[in-house]
Amino acid sequence: MTAKRQAHAPVFAALGDETRLALVAKLCKGQPRSISQLTAGSRLTRQAITKHLRVLESAGVVHSLRSGRESLFAFDAEPIEEIKKYLDAVSEQWDQALSRLKSFVES
Amino acid sequence: MNDRIEKCIELKAPVSRVWRALTDYREFGQWFRVKLDGPFVVGQISRGQITYPGYEHVKWGAIVQKMEPEQLFSFTWHHSHDPNADISKEPTTLVEFRLEKIEASTLLTVTESGFENLPADRRLEAFRMNEAGWTEQLKNIESYVAPKATSA
């Protein structure tokens, strides 16, 4: 099953929350997990966890699949890698700009 | 997830010199590679044209946020490569330059934050543009190092 992606996926917003970051940390290591597994050890209710998972899903960071009667959630690396690439590119541009500034003020 | 960029650089120049290079629009334009229409004024829009090779079609648009002499200069700017992009309507990130005197030098810290404001397709578009920019840069280097006989 493929993840449903929104064109304007607010990936940063989705990750700007500690609970969701913790969920991503659990999911990004391996196997798809059920809501029960993801709720275990958390102080939040199953409903609250499900809500957070849906936010991550709408940002394309995770997708859900069914296994029997259960919903499983799996991690998708692509949106996060895309953001990382973008930040790396902007970061590289700053390095270049600052090195030009350095020669400009030191000459 | 880290959604900000932070850079720190020591410049062997007095704070006053660095401040001028950052806030005088002509000096800023020289190292940043943008031709600005006019001086930076707090609360006002700064417009111009990027002069960086491969990005000449891109418009500069920023809103000056703070100018605390020799301490802090900040602006918000958009990341759009659409020539018709309007800074007053575009999502922006915040750029902050902080200056600190260290003996005869200046410690400059640059942070850019607020990337969560940018829609995903914009980030992708800008990333593609960045790749195009690199291709252009490599061409420039190539022609620069090419044998003199072929250059004008």
Q: What is the pLDDT of residues B25-43, one digit of tens each?
A: 999 999 999 999 999 999 9
**With bands split at pLDDT 50, 70 and 90, how would you rate the model's confidence at A48?**
very high
Out of B9, B22, B124, closest to residue A82 by CB: B124
Low-confidence ranges of chain B (pLDDT < 50): 1, 124, 126-135, 137-152
pTM reported for the whole predicted model? 0.69
Crossing angle (nearest 10°) for helices A46-58 and A18-27: 80
In sequence order, the 6+-apart residues with CB closer than 8 A to the CB of A72 are: A32, A33, A34, A64, A65, A66
**Any CB–CB contact under 8 A between B5 and chain A?**
yes
Residue A7 has pLDDT above 50, yes or no: no
In sequence order, the 6+-apart residues with CB closer than 8 A to the CB of A16 are: B1, B3, B116
Q: Do B9 and A90 count as a contact with CB atoms less than 8 A apart?
A: no
**Any CB–CB contact under 8 A between B40 and chain A?**
no
Q: Do B30 and A104 count as a contact with CB atoms less than 8 A apart?
A: yes
In order, the DSSP letters of B3-46 are --EEEEEEESS-HHHHHHHHHSHHHHHHHHTEEESS---TTSEE
